[in-house]
Structure 1
Amino acid sequence: MTEERNPEQKKKTVQVKLVRHKWPDEIAAEKALRRKTILLVIGAILFFGIGYACNAVTKTNGVASSSANQKLNEVYDIMLNQWYFGKDIDSLDEALLNQALKGMSGSESDPYTSYLTKEETMELSSSLQGSVMGIGVEYVYLYDSGSFYIVNVFANGPAGRAGLCSGDQIISVNEESVAGLDSDALREKIVGEKGTTVRMQVKRENKLLDFEIERGEVASSVFGEVKGSVGILTIASFAENSGELVGDYLKEFDQQGVTSLIVDLRGNGGGYVQAAVDIANHLLPEDSVVLYEEKRDGSMSENRTSGSGKQYRYDAMAVLVDGDTASASEVLTAALRHYLDAEIVGVNTFGKGTVQITKPFADGSSLKYTIAQWLTPAKEKIHGKGIAPDVEIASAEAHLFSPVALNGTYAADSVSQPAVIVQKELAFLGYAVDREDGYFSTASSEALKQYQRNIGMETDGVIDQAVMDALYSSVQLKWNAEKETLDTQMIKAMEVVNDR
């Protein structure tokens, strides 16, 4: 059984640079609210969705009534032939059909069901392969400012080896400015054949830096490292080959004498549920129920471990989670706690507990829709409530902020939400702010002036777009450089496994 959360991607032949995608339905919803940050992430036939149900046009058996059919046809004919603005839309007939299908499949009661056009289906089906061709970064695009920011650089990937960092703002690719591009256009400029190079200019704090990066294969879903006798397994998504990659890392851990394990699922929005089962095969006893699926008619099915592959045992285990740990990640978290008494460290998880499958159509479009709800091995529901940690500990707040696009500037003696972010980021960087409540006091402005002076910016103490960009970069640089001492959640997880 395949299922998912946010994503929705099936295997695609063409491999591209890993980009962090947000599903079209989520993008539309967010743009309608505030045209906010659009994250480009991973997905496939997992736990995901969005939608809007239109029961008025269908009978209980799903066959449209003749009166409903007539109304639909009349509205379609009017929009196609008489609607004034229809003249400005290419392929109006296709656009109207897509809009109707999206309306029928969308519902506030189920934000994980939606119709996807051919283009959306193709775009969203490229990432859950576990490894992709490219440079190995995730980025965000701010619609309001038209800017791109790197939010993650994959360990051991081409971008990381070249020196790119999270927090870098992308300025140009191959000497061409990215201003005015959308996410698809930028991706087209960066993708290319393995072994070829791409030249990128980024802005880091207040400096422009140039990089030449050789494209290559990026293992994006799993990364492992050993610290003393503790193996740390970071699972970014549940891709097709994640189970195999986890097995490879666990074998390496075994060879290095690892006795305790930390599974880091922070920021993991899900993926193929079968990948979660495949990973569980390496850790849980044979024939263990990893999850139950409750169908519409109330019937229940089970997903069990098969015992395939070598199983590994540890003296202690901890699972790191946060508010973005969702779906298949929650499946694995619940199973590891249920069977192995793994200690859950972090904050409450997202709470994505429904199951979706994808129905492809001949024209390349698809419908992803909810077919079941999943339950933990203890038959507990997760949807809407998530998993509470055994050890609750938050991460540094400033590190979690996303890039921000401003509509204006903010001087001393003003109150604004951007001021809250600036104050918290300055405090994180070690500057003496007197408050963090959004009132941009004289003392806060003076702290900003000191920061501006230190990185060579104009020293005016005013919050503007350049300040927001520079602070975001500085915070990410500090986090990456001092993660050993700043990542309080990982530090606590290490304490948990070493004390057990």
Structure 2
Amino acid sequence: MNYPFKLELIYAHQRNLRKGHIRVTQHNDETNQPSDEQDSKKAPKFFKIKRWKFITFSILALLLTIILTVFATIAIAHKFSGLDDSQRKSFSKVESTYQTLANDYYKKQDSEKLSESAINGMVKSLKDPYSQYMTKDETKSFNEDVSGDFVGIGAEMQQRNKEISVTSPMKGSPAEKAGVQPKDVLTKVDGKSIKGKSLTEVVKMVRGKEGTEVTLTIKRANQEQNIKIKREKIHVKSVEYKKEGDVGVFTINKFQEDTAAELKTNIMKAHKQGVRKIVLDLRNNPGGLLNEAVKMSNIFIDKNKPVVKLQKGKEIESVNTPTDPLKEAKDMKVSILVNEGSASASEVFTGAMKDYNKAKVYGEKTFGKGIVQTTQEYSDGSLLKYTEMKWLTPHGTYIHGKGIKPDVEIASPKYQSLSMIPDDKVFKEGDQDKNVKSIKIGLKALDYQVGKENNDYDAKLKSAVEDFQKDNQLPVTGKFDKETNQKFAEKLVDKANKDDEMLDALIKKLK
């Protein structure tokens, strides 16, 4: 705002230069100071300012500049802070509290810890299991998950209703091999309770150096059991392809960077092999990057078609396919296989394919996660992940908490849904207990004759337990004790990893 005044002085001075009227007017030596009269005679047409007036004007200009700068700074700060008056008033209390505790608390406080605690408090107040603040180290782990390379046990976890549970174990991971199942609730890590801890804190406890072991205490159907797992360096393969007769089976483990590109490459490979019927196996796929789900949908869905609709308040925005579908995929019959461990981006893809009749869905109802998270990374490497909106299928279906029902139901084997049998109790002939039925179902799956599937530990079951103990070099007692229980669980896990009854049933339907 002081520019007009300065420009006028410069302009008058420039005119003097052009006219050749260059005179020094601010010497202290009075003999060299021209009089006003002389000045008036020599340059009567030019703009003049006396020294005292010039000083006064300069001071006023400076004060005006300072005042305007202060007000402009405040206005700009308010404009770009993103806070309205009410929000600024609320935040001033937070800032005041921070300053008081940082400066006046009787014990010295770490300013970084204070600010992180404040952020964590705000996030926890949301009561949203999918929103969280991550430190620099936690952000590193998060980014490893997105890229697909990390050291751990390979179990996707979530926090809900103050409980941390397994969304799904990754295929071929140490967690899956050890028998961890979707919806298992974690209660302890290496004997230490995780009550009150955040998801990121628990993940940090579970992870560690390659080759070391971690013991998880999990609760399944209100019964706890310890599972020991060896940590490994894990590279999560996005897509695995195998040919089963004339059917191409694509196991999609997670939606990470380049998942769509990997699937596209494998589909072209299968097409060259003459494959025209494909199965996209999304069982226990916990989701991942939304943009990869959109790209993967675009392999099959026409250009400029909505894959997912993002809703925030009343506003709905469609995310459309950017390109034409893959030529090789056009003449393929597509089937999708899902279960209760298929979540998030898996459901985005499945919902789009189902709405456009591009695939028939088989298996069990999916997990039901219909909300989208966004991340904001800070300069210190920390990160905020928060739920920004919910998503709908192309036809406007909201699946959160409901899941997607398959077109054709294929149930998983009974033994894969068994509750943990407590290993601190011995079951024997004459007992009546709901766990006895689980023992019968499991032994029957392992090809032992158990008679009726009920809660009675009868002579038939005792005989089956004795046979199982003989076959596995265990003391033959006919009692289902801790040692027998552990071997029983191990054998069922081996069977689940070896035999894929759901996939076999689907392939049979496709022939």
TM-score higher than 0.5 here? yes
TM range (shorter): 0.5 to 0.7
% identity of equivalent residues: 28
Compute the TM-score of the two structures, normalised by the length of structure 2.
Answer: 0.63
Structure 2: 5+ residue stretches without partners: 1-82, 158-167, 181-188, 193-201, 214-230
TM-superposed CA distance for 1:347, in Å, is 1.2
Between structure 1 and structure 2, the one with the greater Rg is 2
TM-superposed CA distance for 1:167, in Å, is 4.2
SS in structure 2 at match of 1:248 = helix
1:382 aligns with 2:399: yes
Paired residues of 2:302 and 2:325 also in contact (CA < 8 A): no
Cα offsets for 1:335-393 (capped at 9, x unmatched): 11222441111111111111110122233332211111111111221112111111112
Paired residues of 1:59 and 1:65 also in contact (CA < 8 A): no
TM-superposed CA distance for 1:275, in Å, is 0.9
Of 177, 190, 197, the match for 2:210: 190
Paired residues of 1:223 and 1:234 also in contact (CA < 8 A): yes
Structure 1: 5+ residue stretches without partners: 1-57, 142-149, 170-177, 192-197, 200-212
SS in structure 1 at match of 2:475 = coil
Structure 1 CA distance, aligned partners of 2:426 and 2:115? 43
Structure 2 CA distance, aligned partners of 1:422 and 1:75? 61
Give the total of aligned pairs.
387
Structure 1 CA distance, aligned partners of 2:277 and 2:495? 28
Query: RMSD in angstroms over aligned alpha carbons?
Result: 4.4
Alignment CA distance shift 1:448-1:179 (3 Å): farther
Structure 2 CA distance, aligned partners of 1:120 and 1:405? 34
Map 1:217-296 onto structure 2 (within 5 A): 218=235, 220-296=237-313
Structure 2 CA distance, aligned partners of 1:352 and 1:278? 19
Alignment CA distance shift 1:188-1:113 (3 Å): closer
TM-superposed CA distance for 1:447, in Å, is 2.5
What code does the residue aligned with 1:65 have?
A: S
SS in structure 1 at match of 2:177 = coil
Of 475, 482, 488, the match for 1:458: 475
Alignment CA distance shift 1:140-1:384 (3 Å): closer
Structure 1 CA distance, aligned partners of 2:434 and 2:110? 41
Of 308, 314, 324, the match for 2:341: 324
In the alignment, what sits opposite 2:147?
Answer: 129
In the alignment, what sits opposite 1:65?
Answer: 90
Q: Which moved more, 1:224-233 or 1:113-122?
A: 113-122
SS in structure 1 at match of 2:318 = strand
Paired residues of 2:302 and 2:321 also in contact (CA < 8 A): no
Alignment CA distance shift 1:293-1:152 (3 Å): closer
In the alignment, what sits opposite 1:368?
Answer: 385
Q: Which moved more, 1:239-248 or 1:294-303?
A: 294-303
Paired residues of 1:230 and 1:261 also in contact (CA < 8 A): yes
Paired residues of 2:369 and 2:401 also in contact (CA < 8 A): yes
Structure 2 CA distance, aligned partners of 1:398 and 1:67? 58
Cα offsets for 1:215-236 (capped at 9, x unmatched): 9984522111112322111111
1:339 aligns with 2:324: no
Paired residues of 1:355 and 1:372 also in contact (CA < 8 A): yes
Alignment CA distance shift 1:453-1:93 (3 Å): farther
What code does the residue aligned with 1:119 have?
A: D
Alignment CA distance shift 1:106-1:409 (3 Å): farther
SS in structure 2 at match of 1:374 = strand
Structure 1 CA distance, aligned partners of 2:245 and 2:509? 14
Of 349, 357, 371, the match for 2:374: 357
Paired residues of 2:421 and 2:438 also in contact (CA < 8 A): no
TM-superposed CA distance for 1:285, in Å, is 1.6
In the alignment, what sits opposite 1:147?
Answer: none
TM-superposed CA distance for 1:278, in Å, is 1.6
What code does the residue aligned with 1:370 have?
A: T
Structure 2 CA distance, aligned partners of 1:216 and 1:372? 34
Paired residues of 1:167 and 1:472 also in contact (CA < 8 A): no
Paired residues of 1:403 and 1:468 also in contact (CA < 8 A): no
TM-superposed CA distance for 1:320, in Å, is 0.5
Paired residues of 1:237 and 1:270 also in contact (CA < 8 A): yes
Alignment CA distance shift 1:369-1:490 (3 Å): same
Alignment CA distance shift 1:183-1:279 (3 Å): closer
Paired residues of 2:375 and 2:383 also in contact (CA < 8 A): yes
Structure 1 CA distance, aligned partners of 2:89 and 2:343? 36
TM-superposed CA distance for 1:113, in Å, is 1.7
Structure with a larger share of its residues in helix: 2
